[in-house]
Amino acid sequence: MSVKSTSPLHARPKELRLDGFSLSVVEGPGAGASLRARMSEVSVGTAEGNDLVLLDPTVSRHHFSISATSDGYLLKDLGSSNGTWVGGMRVLSGYVEPGARIRVGRTTLLVDQVNEDICEALSPEDGFGPLLGQSSAMRRIFAALPRIASSDTTVLLEGETGTGKGVLAAAIHEASPRASGPFVVLDCAAIAPTLIESELFGHVKGAFTGAQADRAGAFEQAKGGTIFIDEIGELPLDMQPKLLRALEERSVKRVGGNQRVKLDVRVIAATNRDLRTEVNRNAFRADLYYRLNVVRIHVPPLRERTGDVERLARHFHAELVPDKPIPDDLLESLRRQSWPGNVRELRAAVERAVLLDDPAILALGSEAPEAAEGDDEYDLDVPFRVSKQKASDQWERGYVRALLRATSDNISEASRRVKMDRSHLRTLLRKYGIRGDEERGG
């Protein structure tokens, strides 16, 4: 497998060329069907919408995907019921050679290399709005963004936590003809399931206890702009048909109301799960998945685009300390880590190192504790979002304490130093019961 650039040496390549491949059904129902990959990733399963639709009832709706990458053909099982098998081994994720036979249910497929390359355009830029990256993976996304932003299509963003899906959604809105309209964020993971309908669609006075006045939901607030539905994989099953209807008819009905209101809203949704796997296990409705999956962007984790660590770290450092370059030892230490919390974690590590002016503090970062910590560190008996919130609160409390110590409790100086809005800092102080010096804060 090779990656070929069409540009002269030393110039930034304008496209990524990957070895093309085909998939053919060689045994089982539908034998003879085949597909020549036009895009770097193709999906296979019995559901319409897959690139290769199989007729075998023992195959899952979204069974596996195979991608041409610069390291080879990457096969991924999508949470199928019967598994994906190569050479008698069940494969969750792994590289396969041309000539490999993949068995799914009663069907066998053959992977073959073809002469025609798969060509992916790369942006010459190393950013798109506030979103930065110099890796091919990010420049591939940047190349597609202007066209995506200028259209009105629904976009589904997939990627691990902290990879930048929120920034990406905002950047699409900012580059779209709707930029002067509102950008409204609704995080399904942060709202109690019983309140989601009213948060999305609003309610009328008296619709439920506590509904003391009519209230517009996120869809209505986003009128003329974009609604960003974050963590859509957490949307309760009973809400999914209601969202589907809103997307199809571009209209909403407030809880307790009896009129549907037409709305001009663009929808961007994000998830840190693979929704195809959720569809397979009936946790996400297939019809809603298809309605959302008009344009799908997968934002890769930072460990798969290590070339971006330096670019991002320099940027975060320069935001805080514009007049000094990032120290080499800090950069070196950042490059060596694998960043399970992705860009969010990298940003926090740079901020911590700057604040405490000590690169050694990075030992508190991702890699070192992974080896030292026991699993009991994590409370697995409470929901994920509660655990995550607790950890994030602990970090925030420590950060604010350190910040105040470093600025001798001077709120004004503290907020200037880390470019945090003063009222937000005050809110955090109240939240954690920490006292700062408001008088000198001026």
Ligand X SMILES: Nc1ncnc2c1ncn2[C@@H]1O[C@H](COP(=O)(O)OP(=O)(O)OP(=O)(O)O)[C@@H](O)[C@H]1O
> Rounded distance, CA 345 to CA 303, Å?
12
**Tokens at 254, concatenated:** 């407030």
Q: Which of residues 332-391 bind ligand X (CB under 6 A)?
A: 343-344, 347
Query: How far apart are CB 393 and ligand X at their closest, in Å?
Result: 15
Q: Which is nearer to ligand X, 64 or 339 (CB)?
A: 339
Main-chain dihedrals φ then ψ at residue 11, nearest 5 degrees: -80, 155
The CA distance from 308 to 335, in Å, is 10
- How many residues make up the chain in this entry? 442
Residue 250 or 311 with smaller CB distance to ligand X: 311
Token pair, residue 184, equals 């409204």
Task: Find the helix or strand (DSSP H, E) in which 89 lies.
Answer: strand 89-90
Token readout for 53 is: 């639709």
Which residue lies nearer to ligand X by CB, 162 or 202? Answer: 162
Give the nearer residue to ligand X in terms of CB position, either 16 or 270: 270
Measured from the Cβ of residue 345, the count of other Cβ atoms closer than 10 Å reads 18
Q: Which parts of 228-267 interact with ligand X (CB under 6 A)?
A: 230
In the complex, minimum distance from the CB of residue 281 to ligand X, in angstroms, rounded to a whole number: 21
Q: Residues 131, 143, 255, 334: which binds ligand X (CB under 6 A)?
A: 131
Does 165 sit near ligand X (CB under 6 A)? yes
Q: Is 411 exposed, middle or buried (0-12, 13-18, 19+ CB in 10 A)?
A: buried
Which part of the chain contacts ligand X (CB under 6 A), choosing from 94-102, 157-165, 404-412, 419-427? 157-165
Beta strand spans in 200-350 (E): 226-230, 251-253, 260-262, 266-271, 295-298
Residue 75 C-beta: closest distance to ligand X, Å: 25
- Our measurement of the distance from residue 255's CA atom to the centroid of its chain's CA atoms, rounded to an integer in Å, reads 30
Expressed in angstroms, the distance from the first to the final Cα of the chain is 62
Q: Reduce the DSSP state of residue 365 to 3 states and report it.
A: coil
Q: Compute how many other C-beta atoms are within 10 angstroms of the C-beta atom of residue 203.
A: 22
Minimum distance, C-beta of residue 343 to ligand X, in the bound complex (Å): 3
Is 166 or 257 the residue whose CB approaches ligand X more closely? 166
User: Is residue 163 part of the contact set for ligand X (CB under 6 A)?
Assistant: yes
Neighbouring C-beta atoms of residue 136, cutoff 10 Å: 20
Local structure of residue 81 (DSSP, 8 states): S
Applying CB under 6 A, which of residues 22, 34, 154, 161 lies at the interface with ligand X? Answer: 161
132 lies in the binding site for ligand X (CB under 6 A): yes
Instruction: Annotate each residue in 275-314 with x if it binds ligand X (CB under 6 A) or - if it does not, as one string.
Output: -------------------------------------x--
Tell me the closest approach of the beta carbon of residue 127 to ligand X, in angstroms. 7
Q: For ligand X, how many residues bind (rule: CB under 6 A)?
A: 18
Q: Is 158 in the site for ligand X (CB under 6 A)?
A: no
Least separation in angstroms between residue 139's CB and ligand X is 11
Contact 263, 250 (CB under 8 A): yes
106 sits near ligand X (criterion: CB under 6 A): no
Q: Which of 20, 45, 79, 164 binds ligand X (CB under 6 A)?
A: 164
- Other CB atoms within a 10 A radius of the CB of residue 440 amount to 13
The residues that touch ligand X, with contacts defined as CB under 6 A, are: 130-133, 159, 161-167, 230, 272, 312, 343-344, 347
